[in-house]
Amino acid sequence: MIEIGLAGKPNAGKSTFFKAATLAEVEIASYPFTTIQPNVGVAYVRSQCVCKELGVECKECVDGRRYIPIKLIDVAGLVPEAHKGRGLGNEFLDNLRQSEAIIHVVDASGSTDAEGNEVGIGERDPIEDVKFLYHELDMWVFNILKRNWARLVRRISMEKIPAYRLIAEQLGGLGFDEIQVKESLRTVGKEVEKISDDDLLAFASELRKRRMKMLIAANKADKAPDELIKRMLNLEEIVVPVSAEVELTLRMASKNGYIRYYLGDRDFEIIKELNEKQLKALELIRRFMRKNNGTGVQEALNRIVFDLLDYIVVYPVEDENKFTDTKGNVLPDALLVKKGTTAKELAFLIHTDIGKNFIHAIDARKKMRIADDYELKNNDVIKIVSSA
């Protein structure tokens, strides 16, 4: 399952985002360091199910809304100089090792200082928070490199193994691949023996950029001045205005039967008698959603998976006429695969045995055989023929 991490300074709303997306019971409070141990849960990306288009009834979607699970991790807040041990230090970043990308939850309302203490709205520049997280992540990678650098350089000069290979091995646990290391080294442009501490930091930064793809959730958008949101939208990263709190309110109201609301919808329906105060609160929420096209939580999850990480959805089936598995379930699985995945690679993703015994694949829409190296497209429905 794809794993996405939530990072940011204390009190930015990471756990609120996490709870809104997973409905897991986690602690949320208006002071720093509420979260210490990481929270792990299942969230969903949303896509349009292909059942309608294929003219079949499927039980896996909610009226065409198909939710595909991903893993979400919420960690402790990070304060400036965490790499020198301030706050909780940055060792908990180890919890993000497996994450394919990070949602940086920023308090876009500027109402918490660098350490996460509450201040007046707009008193803190959220752009500073964006910069600081990069710096802390760079220092984290730098320290990991630095720990063994001298020994590594010695090994590189003694053994006839390319530097990038040994460095990738050293960073193995962080999920860096050789290509990322090779490209980063090339950008620094020096022989490893000549790399100074400054160069090593630049190298760490290049590595971080390639490994830790990031989307910015401009959170607390419900109370952020428009001006601050506008400035954040000018950043080069993907920035999504979000109100984790609004999403959480909606999900709780839906869970308790007050409203009908589906994750990622742009509106909701009141289905229970409510008092004036409740109606007023929901009206404010509705106004926010109209302005922002929803709460932003689903959009952030979708954009990190589909736009930043380049995943597509494919539907494997066993019966290309009925679009079912062997038990007759219609469109039983929606899989997230990287753009560029081939039909044969899909077979391996489904099961190693199916991959090893792969014969050919069929495009179930066209009922036509496709090449082994056919690159899957979003919403493809595929039957794998295998002797397994």
Ligand X SMILES: Nc1nc2c(ncn2[C@@H]2O[C@H](COP(=O)(O)OP(=O)(O)OP(=O)(O)O)[C@@H](O)[C@H]2O)c(=O)[nH]1
Which residues lie near Mg ion (CB under 5 A)?
14-15, 34-35
| Closest C-alpha to 216, from 139, 132, 297, 130 | 130
Which of Mg ion, ligand X, none has residue 244 at its interface (CB below 5 to 8 Å by kind)? ligand X
Q: Which of ligand X, Mg ion, none lies near 208, with the C-beta cut-off 5 to 8 A by kind?
A: none
Report d(CA 112, CA 228) in Å as an integer.
Answer: 14
Whichever of 27 and 177 has its CB closer to Mg ion, that residue is 27
Based on CB atoms, which residue is closest to ligand X, 11 or 170?
Answer: 11
CB of 28 to ligand X, least distance (A): 4
Choose among ligand X, Mg ion, none what residue 47 binds, the Cβ cut-off being 5 to 8 Å by kind: none
Q: Which is nearer to Mg ion, 10 or 264 (CB)?
A: 10
Residue 170 site contact among Mg ion, ligand X, none (CB < 5 to 8 Å, cut-off depends on kind): none
The interface partner of residue 30, options being ligand X, Mg ion, none and the CB cut-off 5 to 8 Å by kind, is ligand X
Q: What share of the chain is helix, strand, coil (3-state, %, to 5)?
A: 40, 20, 40
Residues that bind ligand X (CB under 6 A): 8, 10-16, 28-30, 32-35, 76-77, 116, 219-220, 222-223, 243-245
Query: Could you tell me which of 19, 128, 145 has the C-alpha nearest to residue 79?
Result: 128
Cα–Cα dist 291/293, whole Å: 6
**Strand 335-338 to strand 311-317: parallel, antiparallel, or no bridges (unpaired)?**
antiparallel
Nearest to ligand X of 93, 331 (CB atom)? 93
Q: Considering the complex, what minimum distance in angstroms separates the CB of residue 7 from Mg ion?
A: 11
- In this complex, which beta carbon is closest to Mg ion, that of residue 32 or of residue 316? 32
Contact 301, 4 (CB under 8 A): yes
CA angle 173, 5, 90 (to 5 degrees): 65
CB of 14 to Mg ion, least distance (A): 5
Cβ closest to Mg ion, residue 34 vs residue 292: 34
Residues 6+ apart with CB under 8 A from 178: 164, 165, 168
Among ligand X, Mg ion, none, the one that 220 touches (CB under a kind-dependent 5 to 8 A) is: ligand X
Which residues are 369's β-sheet partners?
362
